[in-house]
Structure 1
């Protein structure tokens, strides 16, 4: 339920960024949503309906490639975003196009970032990016930005190159915010010293789907035997790990360090 609420809120934030800041100035977003915005400006069809129709093929592909829960959350995000685009009024909050593209990009980045953190995506090229993230450890926002050059070019030919450059600024802003909010590319190494190693290990293995190395340890002062659990997680998993450790062994000693890179078998998402 928590993830569902977060995804709904994130999707509405994205729709607000589109309708209140970007669409009134003909500034496009990234990916399929940007194409939907362009078609919505050029045709009588609503951007929300176009966004839903354009996402359907990739949602079908994702259903078979990325797992049912992930795609279910993604479908929820696409539907809520499309509904927001359909029902939220298109208002020009600011008359300054530059301010509008920056603020719109921030809102879109926040909405997309929290959706990713809730184990979903915003659909479109995000699905392609998530497929690539399982193979290569690149920042998600940078991946999306690299795939959006075509949107900027189309915007330049149709709306003029000034608006195309503003579209580029908006895409860059949203991608940087996504990388700040969605931090799965940041790895953390945990060294957990506990007297309840077996119990904690079983729960963490079930929750994290990460490998854990168990080392037998002995306290230098007390002489008591303890177990050291070592694992590598992504940044956004840290809160759940903290809660789990506190529930099972609130007296455990935990050392958390940021990891530069991981070589070997490690699930990237």
Structure 2
């Protein structure tokens, strides 16, 4: 039983490596909710040279209007993005998902930043 578990784990790691090299997610899509959204947005634009999309939101718990920042960064830039968020607002709420297929303004197949 232990050998089977180890085999499944090894196969999972191998598959993840192959997917990340051959067309798997190479970027992260991050949603950020913070009272200091303007400062976070400006810092993302200046330090990471990334655009953001601002989405109007409404907090269900506190029943207040919110601004949600949506930003897609390369996997290499992801830790820097988290550092920016924590530096400005350590209480910010973030949701991160893998982004494997981006098209449109700012995103090309040969982009050096993604």
> Is the structural similarity TM-score above 0.5?
yes
Q: Verify: 1:244 aligned to 2:75, yes or no.
A: no
Q: Which residue of 2 aligns with 1:13?
A: none
- When normalised by structure 1's length, the TM-score is 0.31
Matching of residues 108-257 of structure 1 within 5 Å: 179=21, 186-257=26-97
What is the CA RMSD across the aligned residues, in angstroms? 1.7
SS of alignment partner, residue 220 of structure 1: coil
1:207 Cα shift? 1.1
Give the superposition deviation at 1:203.
Answer: 0.5
The 1-side partners of 2:67 and 2:29 are apart by 16
In structure 2, list runs of 5 or more residues that go unmatched: 1-17
For structure 1, which runs of at least 5 residues remain unmatched after alignment? Answer: 1-175, 180-184
The corresponding residue for 2:3 is: none
In structure 1, distance between residues paired with 2:86 and 2:32: 12
- Alpha-carbon offset, residue 194 of structure 1: 1.0
Going by fraction, where is helix more abundant, 1 or 2? 1
Q: TM-score, normalised by structure 2?
A: 0.70
The structure that has the greater radius of gyration is 1
CA–CA separation in structure 2 for the residues paired with 1:249 and 1:227 = 14
Whole-angstrom CA distance in 1 between matches of 2:66 and 2:36 = 8
